[in-house]
Structure 1
């Protein structure tokens, strides 16, 4: 049973989400504000977080940034704000998905399941891609990826990434030199049942370049293939 941390100040919405996800065999823990949510975050070790942006004691964006500094747990933001700028901002600060209110419980459950599925299948996928004779840490010049720890290293220093950023980098890593379209990357990091835009991939790529490239404006590893998408050059 997967553990969901729900941080939502509207009790009626929280109760609907909790009841529906519980019926879908999730263990839901509810925090009515940022303080309660933070306490639960450190005590229950959630598998996924559903986080409202408008909270009575803090901004959900700031809480997302705080969680992201210590964990790569998938985070889905929920908000009545539907502007593209808000969605992009959420992705930039570390969220993995963004759902606008009002939404159907069925869609919420599908998106939650998509995030959890991508997370749970990571170890299975890499076991097929990396043979038993290979080390779990693969070295390509200045960049290293530890698949087991889900961590990227630049010049032996750990680099903090979001769930989606690591998934993109992992996929690049397993297929060096291959050109991926934005749609292919979206399907690989999200699953085809979750709505996201191509702009989301651009945001993740920009963030990755800032973290692993010496000069993000002149990337040596994560390169743009104009009119097609992106590729990774070891």
Structure 2
């Protein structure tokens, strides 16, 4: 059995050499590493045991890694790191917009990769996104509109108790904004204050995460009620926000 303190990583890549390299390197860092060459093997691992983080190749031979990552995100909340050999920033933005929490290019530096994995795991809290969660009265919560942001359990749910799955970056960004209603933040300030953005440092990251959040919490993302844009300056969260 896996030791309670040992995190399990799942490497999804159709290149056997890459899988072997990652398995060897990450195992030496104390991780329990599983591997899959396609979606079928990936789902078998995810359904058989608890996986703490998924490393997903963006370009698989027979499948689209982005679609697989999006499917994983719909059912699980563990961090997802995308890996790819292409350098187009559009791919990076698209990967983050769909599902990923971080992104690295091949060939990658193993030291940097393991550091990013460690950072993602340190911030992650796995909670089944499909179960109805009853807010504990002892939890610190922020309430706005029909939403409850549980800061203690790091969950977002509507007034009926239905959970909304947020990535680490999305939750951290929403927390910063909701804690300071009506305060305008620049993109740089949001990156600096949001724990979930430590490894997402390229341009437009904040814009992508704002877009994702609006799709999840706004009735009409094109005319947002909560997350507003201050042209030329940044973003702010329109109150009121009630703490409880």
CA RMSD of aligned residues (A): 2.2
1:209 maps onto 2:214 in alignment: yes
Displacement over 6 Å in runs of 4+:
none
Are the aligned partners of 2:142 and 2:178 in contact in 1 as well (CA < 8 Å)? no
Structure 1 or 2: more helix by fraction: 1
Q: TM-score, normalized by length of structure 1?
A: 0.85
Q: In the TM superposition, what is the alpha-carbon distance from 1:133 to its structure 2 partner?
A: 7.3
- Within a 5 Å distance, the mapping from 1:188-207 to structure 2 comes to 188-190=194-196, 192=198, 194=199, 196-207=201-212
Residues of 2 paired with 1:190 and 1:114: CA distance? 9
Residues 135 and 161 of structure 1: is their aligned pair in 2 closer, same or farther, counting only changes over 3 Å? closer
Q: In the TM superposition, what is the alpha-carbon distance from 1:117 to its structure 2 partner?
A: 2.0
Q: TM-score, normalized by length of structure 2?
A: 0.82
Residues 190 and 134 of structure 1: is their aligned pair in 2 closer, same or farther, counting only changes over 3 Å? closer
Residues of 2 paired with 1:133 and 1:25: CA distance? 37
1:43 maps onto 2:48 in alignment: yes
- More deviation, 219-228/22-31: 219-228
Counterpart position of 1:140: 144
Q: In the TM superposition, what is the alpha-carbon distance from 1:44 to its structure 2 partner?
A: 2.1
Q: In the TM superposition, what is the alpha-carbon distance from 1:186 to its structure 2 partner?
A: 2.4
1:228 maps onto 2:233 in alignment: yes
Unaligned stretches of 5+ in structure 1?
121-131
Counterpart position of 2:18: 13
Unaligned stretches of 5+ in structure 2?
1-5, 126-135, 240-244
Counterpart position of 1:170: 175
Q: Deviations over 1:76-101 (max 9, x none)?
A: 10011111111111111111111111
Q: Deviations over 1:129-181 (max 9, x none)?
A: xxx97545443232211335533234534323222212211222333333332
Q: In the comparison of the two structures, how many residue pairs are matched?
A: 222
Residues 42 and 133 of structure 1: is their aligned pair in 2 closer, same or farther, counting only changes over 3 Å? closer
Residues of 2 paired with 1:107 and 1:225: CA distance? 35
Residues of 2 paired with 1:183 and 1:109: CA distance? 25
Residues 182 and 163 of structure 1: is their aligned pair in 2 closer, same or farther, counting only changes over 3 Å? same
